[in-house]
Structure 1
Amino acid sequence: MNNSRQSDIPGYLYALDGMRAISLIFIVIFHTFQQSWIFYNLKISPDKYLFNFEIFQRYGYVAIDSFFVLSGFCLFYPIARSMFGECEFRGWKNFFIKRARRIYPSYVIMLILTILIPSFSYIGGMYDPKSFTNVAHNVIMHLLFIHNFDSHTIGTTISTAWTMSIEVQFYVLFPLICIPFRKKPVLTTVVMSLVAVLLRFILMANANISQPIMSAITPIYFDVFAFGMISAYFVVYVRNKVKCIDKLKLCMTIISALSIFSAFGYMCWLRKISFPNGVAGDVYFRFLYRGIFSVLIALFLFTACFSYGFWEKKIWGNKFFVFLSSISYTVYLWHQNVFIFLKNHNIPYSTQNPVMNDRAAMDGLTLICWTVSILAGIIITNYIEKPIVKYGLKNSILKLLELIHLRPPQKNTVRSKE
């Protein structure tokens, strides 16, 4: 074990914060473009750009896969550490309890909000907030995280929640996947990748499945999750087995930087691809090219963990990225629905039709959306989600009652049940 990295062994890897923060920014600016039709650029003259954000706004959807790579990494990282004696794996019951505590609080709050205030969601089409049966069906499907199976529930209520159904379904499969992965991580990664690619080609040949449903089938993301898992495995393997890793910091830093620049180059390449008529570009990406981007993100995570401190900690682990990473889940759940709510209520007010023609209103819409989403992220993450993750729901409520003096302080009232 490398003594120079003992302080990181409890699990804190700075590159994860940076990648999670960047991924959130990309997703939000992609949805900002979807809602506002506005490109943001820094011009040095009427005809010259200092920086053009258009590519990030058009192709920010690729960050969905970086979130899945991160998820695969974070899921397998503690298991990999237990394989090499760095920590003890505390069992699958504890695993699912911690996942539920992490996922459900923000999710349920957002779901309740969309039910109580229907204008937070897209109204019409498949979703009718005036129909009790329709609403009940949507709520049940979302609470069970199976809304990606039904064209009547995918994209309703929480508009970004289709990815959460994929996440949770992968959690359920994860213990089974870990059985071969622990023994043959490389071979299992190859098999998961082949399964995902083969299934994607089969689905592309089936014209009877709608594109939204087709893009939200969990097994087509097996390769993306697997790349994150194998990256986590090799981080722990190298940390324990490769004694000269500290001598390779320059090489690792260079490869890490090249991975990020290559990911940007990949987005530029997407811009040049001609997609078939009737197939959305983001859907086409998910079926044919996602493996390229996912491998680059996994390679970045691996190499960044062994890079120079200024790159790993100062750049990717800066305070802003750490802050944004900590609230990323809630912001991700909220931002698109806040956009929808503001547009449904014509906030900021505009007389233009469509409202996207009003640049000032769209700038205000973007500012309000970012502000509300970040505030919601701060409040829900720090005062609801984190206490529940640490103490559990019951003990979190007891602690809250003590804080507001509705219950006398008691010793050992609040205790983590991990």
Structure 2
Amino acid sequence: MKMASGLWKFKPDRSPGTSLLRPGAADWFRVFAVGMVGAFHIWQQSWIGWGKLDFLVRTGGAFVDGMILLSAFCLYLPYAHDWVAKKPFRGCKGFYRRRAVRILPGYYLATLIPALLAASRGVDKNFWLDVAGHLLLVPTALPQSYVHSQINGALWTVGVLVLFYLLFPLLSRCFYVKPMVSVCVLCAGQLGYTLWMLPKTDLAYSMGFNQLPAMLGVLALGFAAALLVAVWGQTKAGHKAFLLLGVAGILGAGAVLWQIAHGAEMQHAQLIWRMPLSTCFGAVLVGFSLAVLAPAPGFVRWLSAISYGFYLWHQWLAVQLKYHWRIPAWQGDTPPNQLGDRLWMEQYQWLTWAVCLGAAVVCYYAVERPFAGWIKSRKGQKLPGGACQGQKTVV
């Protein structure tokens, strides 16, 4: 009861303190977005639907767009508050180091272990290209390390984010000087790339529709959402208006996901509806960041902290459990879900969730935190983080 009352406690003071520099909505959003991507990949293996909400799990992969938007939102939020306060641009000193400390230990572990197990089943030229693409942080550059990866199919998202991180110092400065122009340029870039991609088919389309140019507008909306939180956070606008904005974003996202799920070709529909969906995601972030000023409950913040490890491991573990380790046990050549074995499907689904969460906990406490602590002890600096409470855990 105390946790619930704290969550929905409204405060009239909207000065950019911990509530607006570290919005609890970011933790809630991250947990839900990563969870939906996990639900999608586990559903692909279990075939257990969600009844009338089946369209949500079938389109769970689209929440990767929300994760990318959230990364832009969290990274730019401190700059947005500085912009509102008319402070000089703070620069990006140490940005690359902080991002590397945050993402690389877990990423390379999630590359190394799957690569070793894949190598035990035999290696060829495609395997080494797969390894090279992942080690160089460009998994989306080659079919062997992206759509045909033998290592870890979820790591492509990190590759896209790395490219964004490389551009962040430039993008953040551009937004600081000309926010509206920057939004228009990035959105136009995504629109042009989308129009170029849509006629493509088969491998050419699969390789292209999730590349960074297809996400430029999504990044722009993340920056814009951060700026709106900073600007509107200074006003006296009522909480109800912001709450309505967040609820409208949820309803709008649901409507867009329904359209994607019922599209003739889901991947093409995802690209077509990417900007409307991201706009709804942005409305959710802005609305609830300004309406619910209390921080997220401790359990949600903890889930947010381990979400990066969960994302890194969930898809690979789901496939390993089913096909290579055959846990829960099954015999023959046809997986039990294709035979309608409901008991096995249920057991597999819950076991996979448990194993993936366990892997996330191990990754966080045995790899991510110790490595960050080691860097802190060597540099005498704070642990890598950012504006949002869960920024140090963002993918």
| Fold conserved between structures, TM > 0.5 | yes
- Give the corresponding residue for 1:11: 21
Which of 251, 271, 276 aligns to 1:287? It is 271
Q: Could you tell me whether the CA contact under 8 Å between 1:73 and 1:228 is conserved in 2?
A: yes
1:304 aligns with 2:288: yes
User: Residues of 1 paired with 2:87 and 2:354: CA distance?
Assistant: 39
SS at match of 1:327: helix
User: Residues of 2 paired with 1:415 and 1:39: CA distance?
Assistant: 50
RMSD of Structure 2 on Structure 1 (CA): 2.6
1:83 positional shift:
3.0
1:115 aligns with 2:115: yes
1:369 aligns with 2:352: yes
User: Residues of 1 paired with 2:87 and 2:31: CA distance?
Assistant: 27
- Give the corresponding residue for 2:73: 73
Which letter maps to 1:104?
Answer: L
Q: Could you tell me whether the CA contact under 8 Å between 1:250 and 1:308 is conserved in 2?
A: no
SS at match of 2:291: coil
| 1:18-417 superposed matches below 5 A | 18-41=28-51, 52-85=52-85, 91-118=91-118, 130-131=122-123, 133-155=125-147, 156=149, 157-207=151-201, 210-240=204-234, 242=235, 244-245=236-237, 248-273=238-263, 275=264, 280-281=265-266, 283-309=267-293, 313=295, 317-343=296-322, 344-351=324-331, 353-356=334-337, 357=339, 358-392=341-375, 395=377, 415-416=380-381
1:19 positional shift:
0.6
SS at match of 1:160: helix
* Structure 1 pair 220–71 and aligned structure 2 pair: CA distance change class (3 A): same
User: Residues of 2 paired with 1:86 and 1:107: CA distance?
Assistant: 37
1:307 positional shift:
0.8
SS at match of 1:350: coil
**TM-score normalized with structure 2 length:** 0.84
SS at match of 2:233: helix
User: Residues of 2 paired with 1:341 and 1:208: CA distance?
Assistant: 26
1:164 positional shift:
1.2
Indicate the structure whose relative CO is greater, using CA pairs within 8 Å and at least 6 residues apart. Answer: 2
1:390 positional shift:
4.6
1:415 positional shift:
3.0
Q: Could you tell me whether the CA contact under 8 Å between 1:201 and 1:287 is conserved in 2?
A: no
Q: Could you tell me whether the CA contact under 8 Å between 1:390 and 1:416 is conserved in 2?
A: no
* Structure 1 pair 88–372 and aligned structure 2 pair: CA distance change class (3 A): farther
Q: Give CA-to-partner distance per residue, 1:258-289, whole Å, 9 cap, x none.
A: 2112212222233443x2xxxx40x1133211
User: Residues of 1 paired with 2:181 and 2:205: CA distance?
Assistant: 31
1:209 positional shift:
5.4
**TM-score normalized with structure 1 length:** 0.80
1:132 positional shift:
6.3
- Give the corresponding residue for 2:4: none
State percent identity of aligned pairs: 23
Which letter maps to 2:133?
Answer: M
SS at match of 1:392: helix
User: Residues of 1 paired with 2:220 and 2:284: CA distance?
Assistant: 15
Structure 1, unmatched stretches of 5+, are 42-51, 120-127, 396-412
Structure 2, unmatched stretches of 5+, are 1-11, 385-395
Which letter maps to 1:288?
Answer: I
* Structure 1 pair 254–208 and aligned structure 2 pair: CA distance change class (3 A): closer
Which letter maps to 1:346?
Answer: R
1:37 positional shift:
1.6
Q: Give CA-to-partner distance per residue, 1:5-47, whole Å, 9 cap, x none.
A: 4541683110001111111121111111211222145xxxxxx
Which letter maps to 1:214?
Answer: G
Structure with higher Rg: it is: 1
Q: Could you tell me whether the CA contact under 8 Å between 2:37 and 2:64 is conserved in 1?
A: yes
User: Residues of 1 paired with 2:83 and 2:160: CA distance?
Assistant: 26
- Give the corresponding residue for 1:49: none
- Give the corresponding residue for 1:410: none
Aligned length: 366
SS at match of 1:306: helix
SS at match of 2:48: coil
* Structure 1 pair 87–371 and aligned structure 2 pair: CA distance change class (3 A): farther
